[in-house]
Amino acid sequence: MQIVTAQQMKQIDRYTIDELGIPALALMESAGRAVAEEVLDLCRSRRGMAEDGRTGAGTRPDGSLKRGVTSDNPIFEDDLIAPFDGAEREHWLILTGKGNNGGDGLAAARYLQDAGVRVSILCAESPDRFTEEAAVQFEAVRRSGILILETGQNPAAADFTPYTGLVDALLGVGASGEPREPYAGLIKAANGSGLPIVAADVPSGLDADTGQTPEACIRAVRTVCIAFLKAGLVQYPGAEAAGEVKVRAVGIPQLASSRIEERSDTYLITERSLRVTLGIDTSRKRAEDSHKGTYGHVLVVGGSRLMSGAGFMASRAALRIGSGLVTWALPKALLPNIVGHVPELMVAEAAEGDAWRRDSAGTILKLAERMDVLAVGPGLGRFDGDMDWMKELWTGSDVPLVIDADGLNILADAGGALKDWGRRENVVLTPHPGEMGRLLGIPTAELQRDRIGAARKYAAEYGVTLVLKGARTVVASPDGTVFVNTTGHPGMSTGGTGDVLTGAISGLIAQKLSPLQAASFGVYLHGRAGERAAELREHPSSLLAGDVIEAL
Ligand SMILES: NC(=O)C1=CN([C@@H]2O[C@H](COP(=O)(O)OP(=O)(O)OC[C@H]3O[C@@H](n4cnc5c(N)ncnc54)[C@H](O)[C@@H]3O)[C@@H](O)[C@H]2O)[C@H](O)CC1
Ligand SMILES: [K+]
């Protein structure tokens, strides 16, 4: 599923209207219907009515009659824009702006009326300031006898008591900056009403590109996103403000996104995009005559006296996700502590004594000659000469590297010098926001304001695949393509899940996935495993990283 910015959406709209000749009013009509259908779906589900499936013949495959069809009435009305039991008890207020977002809301009003729901309109501005298409919709609504409340009344005093729900059609992708009055007042009043809000296209006030939300930003239970998923809906806090996001087709063809000059190269990671966009065989079938060598060999480079668990978790995750072999290299004196804990795991002496040393790089590179990937960093700690050590690993072989934890902190200290180490397009970095801040040399809060932008910029500048972890993890490829993940669970905020991800991504590279494929598929499966592990716990707060490994 493609993700677009406001600017790209405007270009797509323009292409559809100007090049394909579909009038804006037609698109608005479709958008309005989509908004109305989602409002009705919400109403029905609140009244415990499962949707009877889409329009069409009045009977279901099993021969039973769909709702609204009786034996002597074989004609089936479209059950999405159709009265339902209790519709008469619904009274929705549509808050409309003066742009085409407002037009969507006005169009929705007519469909809601047809479904037997009472509808009223509250315009944020005088209708004589509406766009051309919104003005047409306004006139249609007025002539349909739908009540239009006087504009200009003090929005903060707006009395929402009579209503059962609100449609937010104030601002869409044409807005810029924080909402001005009276929009801001209306937004705050709507949020304060306690009523369920369905947002048209995006919650008003949301930065559609970054997901940043000003104080005056609609908090919706559902956002009916028109035609293409907006980036701000899949980055927090926007993802929270949007509620459940439904992307609805309105007759703007998907191909339009490849016909505009500012083409989107941002995608949602879904089962389908993993297969179609990333070309991954997600079935992961295994050939009958395969053997463990077929599935590669991971070398985990990490672990220290005080941190051995990280190495275990990365190693076990690599095994659990299907790597044929995993070897963990760590300082000699630490081996007795770990030998036998994970029988399936092999170990290797990486340094004399119980600590990492600068001169162990040669030993690691020797080991690397028969490895498919190195996972560098879990539990590594810092040591004298670690930057030169890392540089030697980076420049001394072309085996793919997955660098995490203190491996990232070493890179952060190297800063721009990293570029002198030579561009290697088979390195994956997996920073959490704090580590990303150190890599970029900026406050974490700053990069979190535009996670997609920050990840895309760093990946292109340093030629690495960058995995910026956090809710809605962002995977950025050196070529500018970005994938946003939506799997995962808050219960995963527990020590070690980062090491599990490092192991998972490494294990997939060992199984011949490219760095971008392994990073995208790895974050997807890691999040899915976290969801499954959380389901098995009485309370997600009790989730452990080890549970995620088992769920992989
Ligand atoms: N264009 C199409 O064919 C389709 C558009 N769809 C819907 O239309 C909106 C985009 O409409 P647009 O007219 O460009 O702008 P908005 O409706 O988002 O309105 C913004 C409106 O408000 C003014 N404004 C801008 N910034 C602010 C601010 N900070 N505070 C207050 N007011 C602001 C600005 O002057 C505009 O007039 C899109 O989201 C869809 O919902 C159809 O759905 C599909 C076809
Ligand atoms: K809106």
Q: Total domain count for the chain?
A: 2
In a domain, 337, yes or no: yes
For the CA of 180, the closest atom of ligand 1 is: 30
Cα 312 to Cα 41, 73, 316, 496, distances in angstroms: 48, 66, 6, 10
Q: Is 532 exposed, middle or buried (0-12, 13-18, 19+ CB in 10 A)?
A: middle
Choose the final residue of a domain: 206, 237, 261.
261
For the CA of 171, the closest atom of ligand 1 is: 18
Closest residue (by CA) to atom 11 of ligand 1?
100
Does 370 share its domain with 226?
no
* pLDDT by position in tens, the chain (length 552): 999 999 999 999 999 999 999 999 999 999 999 999 999 999 999 887 644 443 334 555 565 655 555 556 666 666 788 888 899 999 999 999 999 999 999 999 999 999 999 999 999 999 999 999 999 999 999 999 999 987 655 655 678 989 999 999 999 999 999 999 999 999 999 999 999 999 999 999 999 999 999 999 999 999 999 999 999 999 999 999 999 999 999 999 999 999 999 888 999 999 999 999 999 999 888 988 988 888 999 999 999 988 889 999 999 999 999 999 999 999 999 999 888 888 999 999 999 999 999 999 999 999 999 999 999 999 999 999 999 999 999 999 999 999 999 999 999 999 989 999 999 889 999 999 999 999 999 999 999 999 999 999 999 999 999 999 999 999 999 999 999 999 999 999 999 999 999 999 999 999 999 999 999 999 999 999 999 999 999 898 999 999 999 999
For the CA of 131, the closest atom of ligand 1 is: 13
Ligand closest to Cα of 108 equals 1
In a domain, 275, yes or no: no
Q: Is 127 in the pocket of ligand 1 (CB under 6 A)?
A: no
Choose the final residue of a domain: 213, 243, 261.
261
Closest residue (by CA) to atom 23 of ligand 1?
175
Tokens of 504: 């998972």
In a domain, 223, yes or no: yes
* 150 marked ligand binding residue: no
Q: Is 6 in the pocket of ligand 1 (CB under 6 A)?
A: no
Give the environment of ion ligand 2: residues with CB less than 5 A: 101, 168, 199-200, 204
User: At 110, which helix (H) or strand (E)?
Assistant: helix 100-114
In a domain, 360, yes or no: yes
Does 32 share its domain with 134?
yes
Q: Is 183 in the pocket of ligand 1 (CB under 6 A)?
A: yes
Tokens of 305: 């006296």
- Probe ligand 1: pick from 10, 100, 201, max atoms within 8 Å of CB? 100
ipTM over 0.90: yes
Inter-residue contact 241 to 208 (CB < 8 Å): no
Q: Is 17 in the pocket of ligand 1 (CB under 6 A)?
A: yes
Q: Which domain holds residue 343?
A: 297-551
In a domain, 110, yes or no: yes
User: At 486, which helix (H) or strand (E)?
Assistant: none
Does 441 share its domain with 530?
yes
Q: Is 27 in the pocket of ligand 1 (CB under 6 A)?
A: yes
Helices (H), 243-360: 271-276, 309-320, 335-338
CA-angle at 359, arms to 354 and 364, nearest 5°: 85
CATH of residue 69: 3.40.50.10260
In a domain, 30, yes or no: yes
CATH of residue 494: 3.40.1190.20
Cα 130 to Cα 3, 102, 125, 133, 493, distances in angstroms: 28, 9, 8, 8, 47
- Probe ligand 1: pick from 16, 96, 101, max atoms within 8 Å of CB? 101
**For residue 171, how far is its CA from the centre of ligand 1 (angstroms)?**
5
* 499 marked ligand binding residue: yes
For the CA of 178, the closest atom of ligand 1 is: 29
Does 243 share its domain with 364?
no
